Amino acid sequence: MTKKPLVIVSRKLPDPIETRMMELFVTRLNLTDTPFDRDALGSAMREANVFVPTVTDRIDAEVLAEAGPKLKLIASFGTGVDHIDFAAAKKRGITVTNTPRVLTEDTADMTMALILAVPRRLVEGERLIRSGTWEGWGPTLMLGHRIHGKRLGIIGMGRIGRAVARRARGFGLSIHYHNRKRLHPEIEEELEATYWDSLDQMLTRMDIISINCPHTPATFHLISARRIAQMQPHAYIVNTSRGEVIDEAALAKALRNRDIAGAGLDVFEHEPAIYPDLVKLDNVTLMPHMGSATIEGRIDMGEKVIVNIRTFCDGHTPPDRVIDTMF
């Protein structure tokens, strides 16, 4: 492009990123941070040269059908691209980019925090203090479970899964994993990780399950009622990936019946709506999708968006072009 592109941004981004965008492009910001409705998305499709959505914007085939001839790039602010109909974008000749490799450590930190918090009932303890009913220490008060020596089963051993494994080893957990492809032996040796070809068999043996795989058609409700039933009664499940990977109704039922011991969830299938039964339970810790919510991480994401836009507009292939949504 010989002139500055019109870049439309769907949500409020960190101030340094917005300032830099304004310097480099003709930028239309969303200073109120009001999520785009369907009309706003359609308008952006028609007007923009580059559209910068986030994971909360559903860019489906119907929305993409409104794209004008000027729209050439969707530079998503986020790692996952399951909110974009990649096939429809590709059909219309629209390039899609994302922001990988900048949220690994932040998300792994949150995963480890939940692995610690749920068995030790940290949120329940905090609620007890705030309720004003705590009567002091007691030998059987707020008993949780030790995590040292327990078996952690990681579903999805990509960058985040491996970062979780490294942290978990420091807490004395035994590392197990299920992945589409087995890791190289050197990585397995480094992580002291045991590979399970069968997810079903792994679930029956683990004390804690951590979900770190992306949402794809193949992983939708991967953790189904049948698979939850295979878990041990003392087991915990933690999800910091995508809510769609778990059947939330089945999970809520298992938690309510104490078929499993507890859960820590940072993501939900129909965000921001939460499955009502989950909110009523005291053995589940619910977080507002904040796994990657660090200032450093958000700025890194924004810088990747800018690099992708500049590279594309200079006539080159952007470094984070999405080729296949299956990763």
pLDDT digits (tens, 9 = 90+) for 278-299: 999 999 999 999 999 999 999 9
What are 114-144's pLDDT values in tens digits?
999 999 999 999 999 999 999 999 999 999 9
Q: What is the CATH number of the domain that holds 205?
A: 3.40.50.720
> Checking DSSP bridges between strand 193-195 and strand 95-97, what pairing results, if any?
unpaired
Q: Judging by beta carbons within 10 Å of its beta carbon (0-12, 13-18, 19+), is residue 10 exposed, middle or buried?
A: buried
User: Within this chain, do residues 38 and 177 fall inside the same structural domain, yes or no?
Assistant: no
User: Within this chain, do residues 163 and 301 fall inside the same structural domain, yes or no?
Assistant: no
Number of domains comprising the chain: 2
279 occurs within a structural domain:
yes
Say what the pLDDT of residue 326 is. 40
User: Within this chain, do residues 119 and 255 fall inside the same structural domain, yes or no?
Assistant: yes
* pTM of the predicted model over 0.85: yes
What are 90-100's pLDDT values in tens digits?
999 999 999 99
Write out the residue range of the structural domain in which residue 216 sits.
104-286
Side-by-side strand order, sheet with 50-52? 26-28, 6-9, 50-52, 73-75, 95-97
And the tokens for 83? 């909110």
Query: Hey, which residues are catalytic here?
Result: 242, 271, 289
Say what the pLDDT of residue 80 is. 87
User: Within this chain, do residues 116 and 97 fall inside the same structural domain, yes or no?
Assistant: no
> Checking DSSP bridges between strand 95-97 and strand 50-52, what pairing results, if any?
unpaired
